[in-house]
């Protein structure tokens, strides 16, 4: 029976063979790589991956799709909401130090998934995700651009990122109303050791009124914390480079 895409799960199934090949080439799976795929769906990406890997762990919330995937002898299926998955536990279960994580992320919860993985980045070797192109533009944005914001700062602190492939709507069934792209995310070895919740709160406050000078938002937040260090709040949030936000979090 044909599976009908479920809107509540944000399902859009990849159906373009050339795009699938290009994504697999970008991921470059090697035999035995400890890889986890989020949202395998109808296995368009899953099948070419497992053929190269030998074994693959997949996370699928849709119980009908999970039941189909369990029929594949080389797949380990975790039927769960990815936002509740412990990736460190997966690594331990398969005897890996670091995981390679891939997937066509549901666009309606892509940002929470990215932050969930950010909190578990110590067990991540690399990540390749298909996302809404607009989200990837925000992830890789430079300071003083309209796309630069909370997501840019939090992710660029911990990852080196690259937009590696454009994916048009007609590559999916059903086609989404937005353009998509594939991003490569490599955890930085030189990332400063700071509290992720603190950085998240700091940038959320900073970008809460991005048209105003920081003295109206972050300045007041710093005063409430009795911050005695130096930080120029006579700027807008988008004018502050990632490393300066990170340095501020270190001082705090």
Q: Provide the annotated binding site.
A: 12, 14, 39, 60, 81, 104
Tracing tokens 């110590």 back to the chain, one arrives at 122
Whole-angstrom Cα distance, residue 143 to residue 136?
Answer: 15
Q: Is there a cis peptide before residue 174, judged by omega within 30 degrees of 0?
A: yes
87 touches 118 (CB < 8 A): no
Strands across the sheet with 75-78, in order?
A: 75-78, 56-59, 35-38, 99-104, 124-132, 180-187, 159-167
Angle at 147 between CA 25 and CA 238, to 5 degrees: 130
Annotated binding site for S-adenosyl-L-methionine: 12, 14, 39, 60, 81, 104
Whole-angstrom Cα distance, residue 152 to residue 248?
Answer: 16
Tracing tokens 């048009």 back to the chain, one arrives at 168
């Amino acid at each position: 029976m044909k599976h009908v895409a479920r809107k509540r799960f944000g399902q859009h199934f990849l159906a373009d063979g050339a795009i699938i090949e290009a994504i697999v080439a970008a991921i470059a799976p090697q035999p035995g790589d400890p890889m986890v795929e989020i949202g395998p769906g109808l296995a368009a990406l899953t099948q070419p991956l497992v053929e190269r890997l030998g074994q693959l762990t997949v996370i699928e919330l849709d119980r009908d799709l999970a039941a189909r995937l369990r029929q594949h002898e080389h797949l380990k299926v975790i039927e769960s909401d990815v936002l509740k998955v412990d990736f460190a536990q997966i690594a331990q279960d398969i005897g890996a130090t670091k995981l390679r994580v891939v997937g066509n992320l549901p666009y309606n919860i892509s940002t929470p998934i990215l932050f969930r993985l950010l909190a578990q980045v110590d067990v991540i070797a690399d990540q390749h995700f298909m996302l809404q192109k607009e989200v990837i533009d925000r992830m890789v944005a430079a300071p003083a651009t309209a796309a630069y914001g909370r997501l840019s700062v939090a992710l660029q602190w911990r990852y080196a990122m690259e937009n590696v492939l454009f994916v048009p709507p007609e590559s999916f069934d059903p086609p989404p109303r937005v353009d998509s792209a594939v991003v490569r995310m490599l955890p930085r070895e030189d990332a400063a050791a700071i509290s992720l919740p603190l950085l998240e709160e700091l940038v959320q406050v900073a970008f809460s009124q991005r048209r105003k000078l920081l003295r109206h938002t972050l300045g007041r937040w710093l005063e409430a914390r009795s911050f005695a260090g130096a930080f120029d709040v006579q700027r807008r949030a988008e004018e502050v480079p990632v490393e300066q936000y990170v340095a501020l979090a270190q001082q705090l």
